[in-house]
Amino acid sequence: MMRENTPENYSGLLGTVVAVQANYYQVRLDINQCKLLCTRRSLLKKIGQKVMVGDRVEVELEIEGERGAIAAVLPRKTELERPPVANANQIMLIFALEEPTLEAWQLSRFLVKAESTGLELCLVLNKLDLATEIQLQNWQKRLNEWGYEPVFISVAKNQGIDELITKLNNKITIFAGPSGVGKSSLINKLIPAATVRVGKVSGKLHRGRHTTRHVELFELPGGGLLADSPGFNQPSLNCKEYQLAGYFPEAKTALEKGNCYFSNCLHRLEPDCVVRGNWERYEHYLKFLEEAKSQQEILQQMPDEESNMKLKIKGSGEHYYEPKLESKKYRRSSRRERHQNLHEIYDNQSVNELDELADNF
């Protein structure tokens, strides 16, 4: 009989998956915090139950306790596709004030992408030591208007790190941000045992490596777990047009206070719109809206699940359709896979930093 999928029903050895490589899983056991190398019970494979890093799992010991097998996956609280992480609590978006100079458009794009995951969002601005007091105050004011309360830090000068640590304790956090902002330096600071290469060359050399999925969570001394996110280098906005306003706190606040005349308002030129206005990022909203629209159009042009019929022409010239399913090569692609393909096409700067990080351990 199937057990009901609630945590109380898992009385065995519980743990958290901290690394996945091929069919092996490293599980950190709750009982002693030790890591155990595990496989997955074939029943899970049969029912198509995937195991991701961040998953809470029930483990059965094998080979005198030296190995384990994952017998069950507990219900997930959250699930992120890219990077594939279960039960993440928050995204920590890291940018630098200078070197590279903080740029509103790029920051906005990352913020919108991060908001689209539905996870809590924490914005961190590094290299405080390179910014003037005026710059700092301007960004603080500007970002407050955008609806964010940034945490200013300097990894180099060890400023603001303690405040950051309190935000990471006992949580699963996804690190994201463009390269060069000091993410690796920060990870090294947070996890003294880590030796992540700083100032690494990323880009062309490593392209294509993201086919080998190797995801790992780094353990923080305070109990939290950290995942770097390779898919965030140049985030594409592949959301639906109507969803976009929900990813701008400014627009969300306006919609909490009042309603647009049309319930399906996209906040462009529609009459009696409560969102359209003179807020700084309205311009960003319009541009991202165009982008979302063209992304959706590209998606629609890709082979559809339903279009599995092939046009044939008889000798007589008569047209008819035949199912394509007889072709061995033909395989239905799910919407999710098509999204993934789009990522692959448009996210051309995507480098599997996670692979790289993991390789360095």
Give the closest residue to 241 by CA, choosing from 217, 274, 265, 207: 265
Least distance in angstroms from the C-beta of 280 to Zn ion: 18
The binding track of 78-117 with respect to ligand GDP, each residue x by CB under 6 A or -, is: ----------------------------------------
- What's the chain's Rg over C-alpha atoms? 23
CB of 361 to ligand GDP, least distance (A): 15
Q: Are 158 and 152 in contact (CB under 8 A)?
A: no
With binding defined as CB under 6 A, does residue 132 bind ligand GDP? Answer: no
Least distance CB 205 / ligand GDP (angstroms): 14
Q: Which is nearer to ligand GDP, 113 or 127 (CB)?
A: 127
| CA distance to 137, 236, 239, 293, per residue, from 296 (Å) | 38, 12, 8, 5
Over the window 189 to 218, marking each residue x when it contacts ligand GDP by CB under 6 A and - when it does not, the resulting string is ---------xxx------------------
Q: List CB contacts of 43: < 8 A, sequence separation 6 or more.
A: none
How many residues are present in the chain?
A: 361
Contact 124, 95 (CB under 8 A): yes
CB atoms within 10 A of CB 76: 15
Site for ligand GDP in 146-165 (CB under 6 A): 154-156
Residue 327 or 360 having the CB closest to ligand GDP: 360
Per-position b or e across 325-338, b if 16+ CB within 10 A of its CB: eeeeeeeeeeeeeb
* Residue of 54, 68, 83, 182 that binds ligand GDP (CB under 6 A): 182
Q: Are 19 and 215 in contact (CB under 8 A)?
A: yes
Exactly one of 109, 183, 267, 284 binds Zn ion (CB under 5 A); that residue is 267
> Which partner, ligand GDP, Zn ion, none, binds residue 273 by CB below 5 to 8 Å per kind?
Zn ion
Residue numbers at the binding site for Zn ion (CB under 5 A): 260, 265, 267, 273, 275
Residue numbers at the binding site for ligand GDP (CB under 6 A): 126-127, 129-130, 154-156, 179-185, 198-200
